[in-house]
Chain A
């Protein structure tokens, strides 16, 4: 509530501070303004779709990378370390460019903009997911493994029915933060032409020459989107904490 009020005040302030503002480019009461606004907001769909797809994949890959990191075997732990360190070291933007322009040549395939973006974002995020999962799984008490073993559960059943349900409950807040992070990072996929929020703003700036207003709208779009998602994450967190008791 407080934040919304602050936001409104900020918008008013910005709107009133100079005669140079040309809000007509996104004025919904005019034909062009309305078309422009719809064009900008339309990017929301791709931003969200891209981020959700990427995070769904990175969660699965992250878990598959985290498990060998907890193994008693050195080689498996080494695989985990190398994966995490290497993937974490590459800037996301570089990864996007490489997956879009490089990977098709290496593997002799064609990758669309959407999937190139998803792969790059998911890959980059999976290293963080792997670390989150590892910490979450390690936070489960040793006694839980021993109890599972004492009723003759094997490794897969122990993970699936005993350890992961408890670990995931604990890391849900961290996963929520990763989603917020992912929504922001998805703006980088604009460089390869993905029609998400940032790309659309860029394209409109080129035709309308109104960067100030258009990028202000872009800022507000991300702000509102992230605030809503953060609020949902916090609500989930509270729910889980209530469950713990």
Chain B
């Protein structure tokens, strides 16, 4: 793909003898929203964690903005603040206030002055609709609010790409909606997103591309309409049947 912002080619990642990613290739265009689904252990998390270097792939290449993802200084500089990530368990910094959670990255990694960092932080807190919680500590917030803070924390780095690893799986059902709403709104701003989720309603509404993974491979890639109406592979059909009728 000519204007791919992420381009993965034959990526292999093993844990011991186990192949978590088995020659995975994926192109994501600027502004594209990709939703990744698949059974547990199929390598979804590993794939997006390789994209922001939380895991090191051992073979194949991943390029972000045309720069290979590796441990070189050039690669790290190019990725600085480019790829944001939202975790299933939020991973907020518990000893810092919401505001300090949001300003830490911009101030330390992007060298922004404090007042500018705070201004950005308040802007994104407003975007995720909790500006009034700025001075609270994470533990004083509900799960849904914490995840929205985590999203705002990533956005404060003003990334070009946002990765989400099952952002609503640890939430009580009544809080899932508020987080998905924030993500839907983010999608509308044209953010490039890769979202690992089993929230198929969200996927239908937001995704440009659906990716189905199984046993370390991408088994199916299709626009949502076709993906849900006529899955090509048996395994994908089975999987969709299971989660849609749950």
User: Hey, which bits of chain A sit against chain B, CB under 8 A?
Assistant: 141, 143-144, 146-154, 157, 161-162, 165-166, 169, 245
Contact = CB atoms under 8 A, between A and B. Distances in A.
Nearest to A154: B109
A91 B100 CA distance: 45
Contacts of A152: 79-81, 105, 109-110, 157
Contacts of B246: none
A61 B156 CA distance: 36
Given A144-B91, A169-B95, 13 more contacts: A143-B91, A144-B93, A147-B93, A149-B53, A150-B84, A151-B84, A151-B105, A151-B154, A151-B157, A152-B79, A152-B80, A157-B109, A166-B94
Nearest to B93: A162
16 contacts: A143-B89, A146-B87, A147-B150, A150-B52, A150-B54, A151-B81, A151-B84, A151-B153, A152-B81, A152-B105, A153-B108, A157-B109, A161-B108, A166-B94, A169-B95, A245-B139
Interface string B91-104: 11111000000001
A149 B81 CA distance: 10
A165 B95 contact: yes
Contacts, number: 60
B236 interface: no
B6 interface: no
Nearest to A244: B139
A146 B156 CA distance: 17
Q: Which of B92, B105, B154 has the most CB of A within 10 A?
A: B105
Interface residues of B, number: 27
Interface in B6-59: 52-54
A147 B87 contact: yes
B95 A151 contact: no
Nearest to B139: A245
B85 interface: yes
Contacts of A149: 52-54
B150 to A, nearest CB: 8
B42 to A, nearest CB: 20
B152 to A, nearest CB: 11
B contacts with A: majority SS: loop
A140 B191 CA distance: 32
Contact of B91 (A147, A153, A154, A161): A147
Nearest to B140: A245
A contacts with B: majority SS: helix
Nearest to B153: A151
Q: Which of A141, A143, A151, A166 has the most CB of B within 10 A?
A: A151
Contacts of B52: 149-150
Interface string B130-148: 0000000001000000000
Contact of B95 (A141, A150, A157, A166): A166
Nearest to A161: B104
A164 B219 CA distance: 43
B93 A157 contact: no
A146 B54 contact: yes
Interface in B177-231: none
Nearest to A166: B95
A160 B16 CA distance: 32
Contacts of B108: 153, 157, 161
Contacts of A169: 95
B206 to A, nearest CB: 22
Q: Which of A144, A147, A161 has the most CB of B within 10 A?
A: A147
B170 to A, nearest CB: 11
A236 to B, nearest CB: 16
A214 B109 CA distance: 61
Contact of A153 (B54, B87, B104, B139): B104
Contact of A146 (B83, B91, B92, B109): B91
B203 to A, nearest CB: 23
Given A152-B157, A157-B109, A161-B104, A147 B81 contact: no
Nearest to A152: B109
Given A151-B104, A157-B108, A161-B108, A143 B87 contact: yes
A169 B137 CA distance: 16
A165 B97 CA distance: 13
A151 B87 contact: no
